[in-house]
Amino acid sequence: MGLPIEEPDDNLESIMWRIWQDIENEMQCSKPFNPLEVVLNDDEIAQKLMPVQQIQLPANLPPPIAEQAYRSILQQIEVITIRRINAELFNATLESIRCKSQFRSKCKISATRMPDMNISLNVLPVSQGWIFEDNSSVAADKTD
């Protein structure tokens, strides 16, 4: 790219590395976003998504008896609501002495156990954008 590059001395390199470690920790860079993990970390929701009991009816059951069994079973089924989980992702940051900008995304995660026992996830984006914070007054105070 042709940009001038300066090799930092050990002290500057150490400072730069500590800054990166702080940013990496705050942004959770080493932890990929996994909506299922977010959902299952909520004990109440994880309990509601546990596998359900299976009904084993004989394949050769006469149709009127099978229909009666299904109706009896359906009357015992409880309908539950599983609340959505709010999640926030810290995607990017730019910082200087004068200001700080962060790009953040907010979403709501819904989960449902399907009849085939798979868990269906829906990640609904709610908002995303840059958040600007002016530090110029703080920087001016430090120079006074």
pLDDT, tens digit, for every residue of 5-43?
A: 889 999 999 999 999 999 999 999 999 999 999 999 999
Query: Which carries the bigger pLDDT value, residue 76 or residue 138?
Result: 76
Read off the amino acid at residue 108: K
User: How confident is the model over 66-86, as pLDDT tens digits?
Assistant: 899 889 988 888 888 999 999
| DSSP 3-state of 81 | coil
Q: Average pLDDT, whole number, for the chain?
A: 90
Structural domain spans, the chain:
32-143
Q: Rounded CA gap, 11 and 141, in Å?
A: 25
The two structure tokens encoding residue 14: 């150490």
This prediction's pTM? 0.71
